[in-house]
Chains A and B, each alone.
Chain A
Amino acid sequence: MQVALFIPCYIDQLYPRVGMATLEILERRGCDVVFPAAQTCCGQPMSNTGCNSDARPLAERFLEIFAPYQYVVAPSGSCVAMVRKHYDEFLSGRPGFEELKAKTFELCEFLVDVLKVESWDGVYPHKVGLHSSCHGLRELGMGKPSELVGVDFSKPGHLLAMLDKIELVKPQRPDECCGFGGTFAVNEEAVSCMMGKDRLQDHLSAGAEVLTAADMSCLMHLQGLSARGKMPLQIKHIAEILNESEAKS
């Protein structure tokens, strides 16, 4: 199975370890993984600011770069949501676009839905809080949002629960936004930081030692607040936890 890694720009530059963890997880599962070096950014910051004309050329590049591969996998729900949910405006009708949407996955989704992972040979003896990042949750449907009535599920939660000795803690507000929101974090700094601190507090009160999510951008914001507030919390992308647990076991 051939997988092209889609490593969002800020992960490439600031969190290479998250990219490496993704790579190692996939390779260990027998995927033939490649990283197309021409990739940069999916255009989400421009699109979220309303600057669609600046996002368009990046969407076009993205299609060109990733069209040749069987699957595209990224450790980021929001960047995948950009491709699957918001590229229509730029690429609708182009050859290969419908296929691109269907073959682009967030890492947890890919593990659960495509690789059909049903057990994980890993040990992670920590109390872990899972932050359900909004774009993965609501745009990609990686879990059941708390507002909807139906059967509860969470793909990242499902993966974590497979780890031996892990204790998943439950915050009071199951899926409230952390306040990152891309340029919102800067544009509405006051509200953004209040939201982030509330999110951290909720997980701390639930007893979390490690806070994780399937989106590094939320974690970048929460990490920044937690470090400034000197909170007793480790912050890790879910790919890091999955990868570490396996390496140790």
Chain B
Amino acid sequence: MKTAEHPEQASKFVANDQRAHWHDQALWFVREKRDRMAVSLPEWEQLRSAASQIKLHTVSRLADYLEQFEQNATKLGAVVHWARDSEEHNQIVLSLLQKAGAKQVVKSKSMLTEECHLNPFLEAQGIEVVDTDLGERIVQLRKETPSHIVLPAIHIKKEEVSETFHEHLQTEAGNNDPNYLTEAARNHLREKFLAADVGITGVNFAIAETGGLVVCTNEGNADLGVSLPKMHIACMGIEKLVPHAADLSVFLRLLARSATGQPITTYSSHFHGPSPGSELHIILVDNGRSNLMGSEQFRNSLKCIRCGACMNTCPVYRRSGGHSYGTTVPGPIGSILAPSRDSKAHKSLPFACTLCGSCTDVCPVKIDLHHELLEWRGEIHRRGQLPMSKTVPMKLTSWMMRSPWLFRWVGAIGKFCLRHLPRWAIYHGLNPWGKQREMPESPQQSFRQLYQIHESKKASDE
């Protein structure tokens, strides 16, 4: 997949200053809520450590836990399927739908099915798929993709939602009242729930010890979506596993606080086998995850519980919008996951970062996000995917810096030019620094020159 580079997309987003600031503030508001919630638990940092250790342990023995999970889930009456990649995943879903004779499907937010591009695949087969999470439904009606993994429609203003609903759900034009719009969506979705043949959900946590699943939502749509139809298909990445039911106490406390600043999601629904008279299918999807497992540098990124906190805090994400990343999962974690699938197509993402480290400190499972991003930069260089515009200047600078006399000499010339060249020779299209910023003022002497004067003065004083 060819994607445009992040800087290009980001500058388009920034060009609309008002919108970019609105987006930044909306997400910062969530980040602040998260801070208040984190502080309300004095044991917060211990929880993070515990979560990190549990996940690390699980990832290191993932094959065993997956097997245990499969056994226990099967015992409970679920059918477990394995998919190597997104194509296999989509095929399995399709064959299950065909077996059930399904024409209409309701889905509750699942980033995995986004990752696998399930919707367009099913639609091409003549199956109607309705996303039932409100934000996701808005995005779907607008024929867009989510711009955030927890707040999929965070880039859309309520006026725009009103327009979309007016067009698709025949709501009153110009009525921007969130209550009115939510009510309209609720009525619309109720019809879809009633008509659905199959419900598809994502999975937040799968428990090896019991074979059960947990799905967290704020709207209860996952419950509705799977209670009415006779078939529930749960799609999960293989990293969603936790070993024991008791581990949930750690993760459920961290997840909602980190994601939205709520103490807990409104619904944490547990599914242990199918409900009487219906079927439960669980699809375990790899799609590149086992590559990460084998990589010492990037294995940690498999600990991710997809809370989205790293996006909310990322100063670059907040100002460039989720779509600028050109991936299903944007932001810091997305910039690590995307290159692991295709480093050439996503080579600009690890550079869409100032290495400020806020993501690392906010992450509830302690993924060393900014260091992994830095690792990726090195990896992209090693793979020969770094453009010459980056490699050549670095090579030259490195050469210069290896000889102090050359450094002094180039420094002196540079300073002279800064002082004496006319403005147009310094501020032009080829100097991105000078577009919105002044260059530093150039002093007459370097530090090393001043230091020498200082030293000889000290010597003569003695």
A pairs with B:
yes
A4-25 vs B, Cβ < 8 Å mask (1 yes, 0 no): 0101010111111101100100
Known A-B contacts A177-B356, A190-B14; the reply to A51 vs B361 at CB < 8 A is: no
- Chain B positions 377-419 with a Cβ under 8 Å from a chain A Cβ: 377-381, 386, 390-391, 394-395, 397-398, 400-404, 407, 411, 414-415
Is the CB–CB distance between A51 and B395 below 8 Å?
yes
Is the CB–CB distance between A179 and B358 below 8 Å?
no
Is the CB–CB distance between B443 and A134 below 8 Å?
no
Stretch at the interface among A110-118, A119-127, A139-147, A156-164: A139-147
Q: Give the complex CA separation of A14 and B445 in angstroms.
A: 9
**Chain B interface mostly helix, strand, loop or mixed?**
helix
Is the CB–CB distance between A19 and B447 below 8 Å?
yes
Is the CB–CB distance between B448 and A12 below 8 Å?
yes
- Chain B positions 34-51 with a Cβ under 8 Å from a chain A Cβ: 35, 38-39, 41-42, 44-45
Of the residues A148, A188, A194, contact of B20 by C-beta under 8 Å: A194
A154 at the interface (CB under 8 A from B): no
A183 at the interface (CB under 8 A from B): yes
Q: With both chains docked as a complex, state the minimum distance between the C-beta of B260 and any C-beta of chain A, in angstroms.
A: 16
Stretch at the interface among A97-105, A204-212, A224-232, A236-244: A224-232
Q: Give the complex CA separation of A136 and B58 in angstroms.
A: 33
**Chain A interface mostly helix, strand, loop or mixed?**
helix
Q: Give the complex CA separation of A9 and B45 in angstroms.
A: 38
A61 at the interface (CB under 8 A from B): yes
Is the CB–CB distance between B7 and A134 below 8 Å?
no
Q: Give the complex CA separation of A225 and B360 in angstroms.
A: 28
**A19 proximity list for chain B (CB < 8 A):** 447, 450-451
**A196 proximity list for chain B (CB < 8 A):** 437
Q: Give the complex CA separation of A57 and B441 in angstroms.
A: 30
CB-nearest residue of chain A to B451: A35
Of the residues B20, B38, B438, contact of A228 by C-beta under 8 Å: B438
Q: Give the complex CA separation of A184 and B390 in angstroms.
A: 11
Q: With both chains docked as a complex, state the minimum distance between the C-beta of B398 and any C-beta of chain A, in angstroms.
A: 4
Known A-B contacts A149-B38, A149-B44, A191-B319; the reply to A38 vs B398 at CB < 8 A is: no
CB-nearest residue of chain B to A178: B354
- Chain A positions 29-56 with a Cβ under 8 Å from a chain B Cβ: 35, 37-41, 43, 45-55
Of the residues A45, A148, A194, contact of B319 by C-beta under 8 Å: A194
Number of interface residues of A (CB under 8 A): 76
**A138 proximity list for chain B (CB < 8 A):** 356-358, 360-361
Is the CB–CB distance between B437 and A193 below 8 Å?
yes
Q: Give the complex CA separation of A39 and B442 in angstroms.
A: 21
Q: Give the complex CA separation of A53 and B315 in angstroms.
A: 29
Known A-B contacts A139-B357, A148-B361; the reply to A49 vs B404 at CB < 8 A is: no
Q: Give the complex CA separation of A45 and B360 in angstroms.
A: 21
Q: With both chains docked as a complex, state the minimum distance between the C-beta of B9 and any C-beta of chain A, in angstroms.
A: 10
Number of interface residues of B (CB under 8 A): 77
Known A-B contacts A134-B357, A146-B35, A177-B354; the reply to A12 vs B411 at CB < 8 A is: yes
A233 at the interface (CB under 8 A from B): no
Is the CB–CB distance between A188 and B352 below 8 Å?
yes
Q: Give the complex CA separation of A46 and B313 in angstroms.
A: 26
B267 at the interface (CB under 8 A from A): no
Q: With both chains docked as a complex, state the minimum distance between the C-beta of B305 and any C-beta of chain A, in angstroms.
A: 16
Q: With both chains docked as a complex, state the minimum distance between the C-beta of B261 and any C-beta of chain A, in angstroms.
A: 13
Is the CB–CB distance between B443 and A17 below 8 Å?
yes
A180 at the interface (CB under 8 A from B): yes
A185 at the interface (CB under 8 A from B): yes
**B35 proximity list for chain A (CB < 8 A):** 146-147
A246 at the interface (CB under 8 A from B): no
Contact sample, A vs B, 25 pairs, CB 8 Å cutoff: A9-B411, A13-B447, A14-B442, A15-B440, A20-B451, A35-B451, A46-B394, A46-B398, A54-B395, A54-B397, A57-B398, A134-B357, A147-B313, A181-B355, A181-B356, A182-B355, A183-B351, A187-B351, A189-B11, A189-B432, A190-B7, A191-B316, A193-B435, A223-B438, A228-B438
List the interface of chain A (C-beta within 8 A of B): 5, 7, 9, 11-17, 19-20, 23, 35, 37-41, 43, 45-55, 57-58, 61, 86, 134-135, 137-139, 145-150, 173, 175-177, 179-196, 198, 220-221, 223-225, 227-228
